[in-house]
Structure 1
Amino acid sequence: MDEGEKRIKQEDCSEDNLGAGILTLTNKRLAFDKTSARIMDFSKNFGETIIEFSLDKVIKTWKEGLFIKKVCFTVKTDEGEKTFKFGVFNTKDWLKNIDKAISEFNNQF
């Protein structure tokens, strides 16, 4: 993490297209790291960082789903807009924390 960066929330989850990993929200960015697990010894290892976006790149946030709930966000990239949908435990809390972090990040500048 960068200097002055603080982890706000982190959770083991799954993204619709990327699969299993760990979603991390800090006061500066959103990141998703792939994980690999072994059932035999119950170990889980961090893999490569698949997505990493500064909070000022996030265009839209929302939650969706009735039974399988997801927190979703759209980000601005060099290739255009991309949408990610993560199956997390508490979508309402994730959405609140993401929106608050974006607001505080934008107010710094």
Structure 2
Amino acid sequence: MDEGEKRIKQEDCSEDNLGAGILTLTNKRLAFDKTNSRIMDFSKRFGDTVLDISLDKVTKTWKEGLLMKKVCFTAKTDEGEQTFKFGVFNTKGWVKSIDQAIDENKNQ
């Protein structure tokens, strides 16, 4: 993490296209790190960071789903605008935390 960056929320989850990993929200960005796990010794290791998006590039946040609930956001990337959907436990809490972090980031 960068200097002055603080972790707000972190959860082991899965993204529709990226697969399993850990979603991290800081006061400056959203990041998703792939994980490698082994059933034999119940270990889990951080892999590559496959998503690293500054909060000022997030254009929309929402939650969706009835049974399989997901927190979703759209962001401007080098490939254009992309949408990401993460299966997390508390979708409402994630959306609220992301929106608060974006608002605080704008005011700085």
TM-score, scaled to structure 2: 0.99
Taking only aligned residues, the RMSD between alpha carbons, in angstroms, comes to 0.5
Alpha-carbon distance in structure 2 between the residues aligned to 1:94 and 1:49: 20
Q: Secondary structure of the residue that 2:8 maps to in structure 1?
A: strand
Aligned-residue sequence identity (percent) comes to: 81
Alpha-carbon distance in structure 1 between the residues aligned to 2:59 and 2:69: 20
Gapped regions of structure 2 (runs ≥ 5): none
How far is the alpha carbon of 1:63 from its aligned partner? 0.2
Structure 1 segments, 4+ long, off by >6 Å, are none
CA deviations over 1:27-57 (Å, ceiling 9, x no partner): 0000000001001110000000000010000
Paired residues in the alignment total 108
Alpha-carbon distance in structure 2 between the residues aligned to 1:76 and 1:16: 18
In structure 2, the partner of 1:40 is 40
In structure 2, the partner of 1:77 is 77
Q: Secondary structure of the residue that 1:71 maps to in structure 2?
A: strand
CA deviations over 1:69-107 (Å, ceiling 9, x no partner): 000000001221000000001000000000000000011
In structure 2, the partner of 1:10 is 10
Q: Secondary structure of the residue that 1:4 maps to in structure 2?
A: coil
